[in-house]
Structure 1
Amino acid sequence: MMFDTLLIANRGEIACRVIRTARKLGIRTVAVFSEADADAQHVRLADEAHCIGGPRPQDSYLRGDAILDVAKKTGAQAIHPGYGFLSENADFADAVQAAGLVFVGPSGASMRKMGSKAGAKDLMAAAGVPVVPGYTGEDQSPEHLQREADRIGYPLMIKAAHGGGGKGMRIVRESDEFAAHLESCQREARNAFGRDRVLLERYIEHPRHIEIQVFADHHGNALHLGERECSAQRRYQKVLEESPSPFLTPELRAAMGAAAVQAARAIDYANAGTVEFIVAPSGEFFFMEINTRLQVEHPVTELVTGLDLVEWQLRIAAGEKLPLTQQDVTQRGHAIEVRLYAEDPEAGFLPGSGTLKTLRLPPPSPHVRIDAGVVEGDTVTIFYDPMIAKLIVWDEDRPRALARLREALAACEIHGPKSNVAFLERLVRHPAVVEARIDTGYLDRHLDEFLAPATAEPSALLGAACACLLAQESAASTAAAASPDPTSPWALADGWRLGHAGARRLQLLHGERKIELRAHGHGGEYRIALDGHTHALAGARWQDGVLSLRIDGAMHRFRAEVAGGLVQVHDGRARLTLRIDAGDRDGGGGEAAGDHRIRAPMPGRVVLVQAQAGQAVKAGEVVLVLEAMKMELALKAPRDGVLAELRAAAGDFVEADAVLAVLEE
């Protein structure tokens, strides 16, 4: 029998997703939240919500005892862990069961079999599932690991045995690099997972990452729902996911599906899980791990199968059998997912935070799905993953799905923290993605191909941006001239105004690059001078966010907006966002020019200090390591010199722009 009340032990878009599915099934929902999430969307969406602690995950969402207290107090009969936080914590799953509640997921025993990558590989090998050759032993001394690495050969991968999400992974290509990579990997694993055990395995060059969605019930039934390809990755973090994989043949798809079900049966699995494989260019595939939870990218599977995987989770947790057999599972069309993040790709994908002053996403339709945990006006905080929303599209085939995705991304408008929208637009047009030949390391090897060029903004986009500013100022001048108070200084329409036929100077900033243009003309007819070239603008019409105008005689159409000191234009293929520069600004005076301070680029915790006051350092040498928003940032010396001061120690929490170290001048 389905339970009456469900507690969701998570936040963000997955919490919202579970709440909506539960409501569809007539289940009452209870949310938990941290102090930072008091006004979050999942809190507002649930039937009831309770605060469980401070903003840091360890003070709230990782507190199993506090979550269970809320469950008992509210009469919840089951707990859905979402993904992340406690979703793969075997002790929490056991505690839920011991409290007489239902854990929506596999048992703690099944999780423990997969909780160690080393143990999981041994178990899968015994079950006949292909695994990558390597070392999974308990002897973790650096000397023994070095010998095993040399035996396996290079390149090889060091992986945190208890890790996930791209944390605690290093590629080693030479024997003499191994020790340094091992130390770095163990430190990151210790900080992220509390354990620093590692395993070694052969590194497959130019691999594909393909995962199989599996489900099993408590009656001995198991099946798979097809694959997702997640080969577009940056630093082991998935960037684009799709289903079906354009790489798999029907024979390879059947073999991988059967291996995935075999893997699930080997650990007596129940509920939703994902079996991840690494696939060589030859088609040879190897088991990587089982994620014992629902995956972030599950919507692409839902769109091609027409199934609600969260509903399946809840029904199986309630004791029901799988609703379909393997023969009943069908797939139709092609689905692709990308994740919109508050991050700055041009600054090394530095995570961002702040208020979403503008958040406009394409409206949901049979072809477009939005999974979001925030709305316009909400804040992306420093304490959690900076994802804004998942954008998922569907169409009858892959080319049409890619076209849908390009249209959907073009319709996105995000102001406040910087976002990765422009990066994603370049990604989905890149030949390696369009031709389905991307591998897991391609983005890291060719990242510059996906980033905006430092200079040479497209002249058409720049012309459109100028037209927006000129049209806005023209409207202001017209309104001022019609003022009922002719003595008001705001009624002047002199040379400063656009009505004057003289030159008008426009100053814009593209990143750190200053762009200065001169506009000659009036009444909608202008000549724009830039870097020795002149372009003619005419016939501009700007209505409901759509700008059309002739540039050098050719008609163009753009999405366009001027707001919050920014002008943004989009021609359907690429976007250009410029800051309006009101004049020369003080960039910090001599302090910036002195290049002698090391600052925190964002709030975070210092996890390592690799130098001391009085020590000589070289330009580019790592001085401190900062942990922020689920990643480590190496803070390096800006030049050669001697450290005069160190103002932070390991364990300190620091604010953005805080000076952490000072070089002698």
Structure 2
Amino acid sequence: MASRLLRLHSQLRRRRHGASPAPPRLLSSSSPSAPPPPPTVDKVLVANRGEIACRVMRTARRLGIPTVAVYSDADRAALHVRAADQAVRLGPAPARQSYLNAAAIVDAALRTGAKVSFVALLANAAARGSAGEHRALAALGISAGSLIGFFVLKAVGYYSAGTVEFIVDTLSGEFYFMEMNTRLQVEHPVTEMIVGQDLVEWQIRVANGERLPLSQEQVPLNGHAFEARIYAENVPRGFLPATGTLHHYQPVPSSTTVRVETGVEQGDTVSMHYDPMIAKLVVWGESRNAALVKLKNSLSNFQIAGLPTNIAFLQELAGHSAFERGLVDTHFIERYKNDLLNSAAKASGEAHDAAAVGAMLAAACICRKDHIISEESLRDKTLSVWYSRPPFRMHHSAKRLMEFEFDKELEGSSDELLKLLITYRSDGSYFIETEDGSSPGLDIKVDDKGEQDFRVDIGGVQTDVTLAFYSKDNSKHIHIWHGKHHHHYRQTMRTEELLDDSSQPSHVFEGRSHPKGSVLAPMAGLVVKVLLEDGAQVDDNQPVMVIEAMKMEHVVKAPRAGYIEGLKATAGQQVFDSSVLFTVKDKSTN
């Protein structure tokens, strides 16, 4: 479970005696004193998609090697396609007809003249057996006899990059071999951060007939690194994969000690056809504690709005006391799932207060934007009551009521309506309080820093705030990030706003309420099997249909005994997340 939901994967290495703790970085592997021979690899085809394809192309570009992307119909405008020098269509969206179509990939290489096809398939290798630690370590060798990593390479006569996986007995400390995968896997940036080398470059140079630039004794082992995978998934629904548009996407800034590998940009869509990983966040520190602090801070500043993600879950995991102490094994998530998944429910009062503060900050920032817009569009028009410097005000203040529906999906519980009373003061500040007095009021000053960024002053304490807005499901959605907090609110759209919003597909206007007994699609996907017909009698928990998305099948079951009504879906039909699949009526009403 741990390796599927998340591989917050870490490797700890003791620094070599006398070696300085140089910060990890992706170094060029070529010797500065001896330039490499003219390359025979003059074009690379990357036979994959998403973040790993973008990552390979980045190294190839640095080496001056043109790249070729391959894509399916669903990925025609994907980031990896835009990043390549050339791109070749493989086929329809299903992976079996595109990315797993070996003949089409070979044909693409022949058509473009690519001499190397870089296949970097991602794999989630689940640890088996009793509780232990799962380790995956990178190794590389060439036919000239230079081997970096383990004797296992020599034992099997393997000459290329590979990932050797072990499981560690936490009681005895003994290592047990699991398997070796003949590729770099999703964890390889952890190794790169610790050794300061670009393993993709090593692969290209080996394919080019060059020797490895370092011997085993020369490989530096510095510090500690963590990798957190950012997924589009619905944690409260059992980590089901999610789909949607990245209306706001602002990863944490990269540096020599913080690395983000991603294959998407703001405005891109996470579809139902492929793995829902959005990005890999990799951090480095001189010690485990230093790296963990950096991980927590980076997760707090990783901003995504438009679809569910596992970021809040990763924050809970990284902040768990057992994880902080390093007491981690393959049963960690199962053992502490109540702590990790229900922490917000245990502190509902604290969650309410934090949500109220977030809503107040959002309201102040929205009002500030309104004032700026009023000022810019003033010209010869009548002064708006929200203009920030009006020449006269009868009572020296103006009031406004603003409602926010607090989306507690991030906390795994039901929604709550927050009504805020906003008093605009003549000095440009705001006093904001809840209408029912359930939370203390705040004096807030706001400085605009850009399109979505603000500097907010609360009682002399200043903090940065980011807001993101988009329309979906008959509502305006508002996301706010402040400090370590992220909240999601909704405001009901007026009829005229709905009519003007042509960006929304027709199915989103069906409304949020459904008849009793309605069964909703747990995720966007493809109906692969319909097991019963409309009107059929059904028992409690009886399977009715099977939906597939992102290589996962989900069985949709009846929530109670009765008979099925409104079942119209057929095999091969696409369904949207939370759309009504059918309704189960009581037998007595038949």
TM-score, normalization by structure 2: 0.77
Are 2:380 and 1:484 aligned?
yes
Query: Which of 309, 312, 326 in structure 1 is aligned with 2:216?
Result: 326
Contact in 2 for aligned 1:608/1:626 (Cα 8 Å) = no
* Per-residue Cα deviation, 1:156-207 (whole angstroms, up to 9, x for no partner): xxxxxxxx6368x9xxxxxxxxxxxxxxxxxxxxxxxxxxxxxxx7x31x32
Residue 469 of structure 2 aligns with an amino acid whose one-letter code is: A
> 2:575 is matched with which residue?
655
Q: Structure 1 unaligned runs (5+)?
A: 85-163, 170-200, 225-260
> 2:488 is matched with which residue?
577
Residue 245 of structure 2 aligns with an amino acid whose one-letter code is: T
Are 2:302 and 1:412 aligned?
yes
Contact in 2 for aligned 1:498/1:522 (Cα 8 Å) = no
Contact in 2 for aligned 1:83/1:293 (Cα 8 Å) = yes
SS at match of 1:52: strand
> 1:453 is matched with which residue?
344
1:208–1:598 distance in 2 versus 1, CA, 3 Å: same
Are 2:150 and 1:218 aligned?
no
Are 2:426 and 1:508 aligned?
no
> 1:541 is matched with which residue?
446
Shift of 1:370: 1.8
Query: Which of 107, 113, 132 in structure 2 is aligned with 1:207?
Result: 132
Higher RCO, Cα 8 Å, sep 6+:
2
Residue 45 of structure 1 aligns with an amino acid whose one-letter code is: A
> 1:338 is matched with which residue?
228
* Per-residue Cα deviation, 1:572-631 (whole angstroms, up to 9, x for no partner): 33322222345899996897232244546312242574899634311x444333221122
Shift of 1:294: 0.8
Separation of aligned partners in 1, 2:479 and 2:166: 41
Residue 158 of structure 2 aligns with an amino acid whose one-letter code is: Y
* Per-residue Cα deviation, 1:52-101 (whole angstroms, up to 9, x for no partner): 211111111111111111211222212111214xxxxxxxxxxxxxxxxx
Are 2:49 and 1:49 aligned?
no
Separation of aligned partners in 2, 1:561 and 1:648: 38
1:499–1:407 distance in 2 versus 1, CA, 3 Å: farther
> 1:311 is matched with which residue?
201
Contact in 1 for aligned 2:374/2:384 (Cα 8 Å) = no
Separation of aligned partners in 2, 1:583 and 1:346: 30
1:281–1:610 distance in 2 versus 1, CA, 3 Å: farther
SS at match of 1:592: coil
Shift of 1:505: 4.5
Separation of aligned partners in 1, 2:384 and 2:443: 31
Shift of 1:508: 2.1
> 1:296 is matched with which residue?
186
SS at match of 1:219: coil
Aligned residues: 509
Separation of aligned partners in 2, 1:529 and 1:490: 20
Residue 281 of structure 1 aligns with an amino acid whose one-letter code is: T
> 2:276 is matched with which residue?
386
Separation of aligned partners in 2, 1:501 and 1:626: 53
Separation of aligned partners in 2, 1:422 and 1:269: 41
Are 2:550 and 1:639 aligned?
no
1:41–1:534 distance in 2 versus 1, CA, 3 Å: closer
The equivalences for 1:527-538 within 5 A come to 527-529=432-434, 533-538=438-443
Are 2:535 and 1:624 aligned?
no
Shift of 1:316: 2.1
Are 2:99 and 1:38 aligned?
no
Residue 536 of structure 2 aligns with an amino acid whose one-letter code is: G
Separation of aligned partners in 2, 1:554 and 1:490: 24
Are 2:360 and 1:463 aligned?
no
* Per-residue Cα deviation, 1:622-651 (whole angstroms, up to 9, x for no partner): 4333221122223222223234575456x5
Contact in 2 for aligned 1:360/1:413 (Cα 8 Å) = yes
1:490–1:286 distance in 2 versus 1, CA, 3 Å: closer
* Per-residue Cα deviation, 1:226-251 (whole angstroms, up to 9, x for no partner): xxxxxxxxxxxxxxxxxxxxxxxxxx
1:69–1:498 distance in 2 versus 1, CA, 3 Å: farther
1:643–1:499 distance in 2 versus 1, CA, 3 Å: farther
Shift of 1:531: 6.1
Contact in 2 for aligned 1:275/1:289 (Cα 8 Å) = yes
TM-score, normalization by structure 1: 0.69
* Per-residue Cα deviation, 1:254-288 (whole angstroms, up to 9, x for no partner): xxxxxxx2433343222111111122221133222
Separation of aligned partners in 1, 2:511 and 2:456: 42
* Per-residue Cα deviation, 1:395-431 (whole angstroms, up to 9, x for no partner): 2222222222223223222222232222222222222
Separation of aligned partners in 2, 1:60 and 1:347: 30
Separation of aligned partners in 2, 1:578 and 1:438: 35
Residue 161 of structure 2 aligns with an amino acid whose one-letter code is: A
Q: Structure 2 unaligned runs (5+)?
A: 1-38, 409-413, 471-475, 499-507
> 1:559 is matched with which residue?
465
Contact in 1 for aligned 2:405/2:490 (Cα 8 Å) = yes
Residue 40 of structure 1 aligns with an amino acid whose one-letter code is: A
SS at match of 1:463: helix
Contact in 2 for aligned 1:218/1:319 (Cα 8 Å) = no
Separation of aligned partners in 2, 1:498 and 1:316: 77
> 2:11 is matched with which residue?
none
* Per-residue Cα deviation, 1:349-372 (whole angstroms, up to 9, x for no partner): 232223322211222211221211
1:562–1:542 distance in 2 versus 1, CA, 3 Å: farther
Separation of aligned partners in 2, 1:398 and 1:660: 48
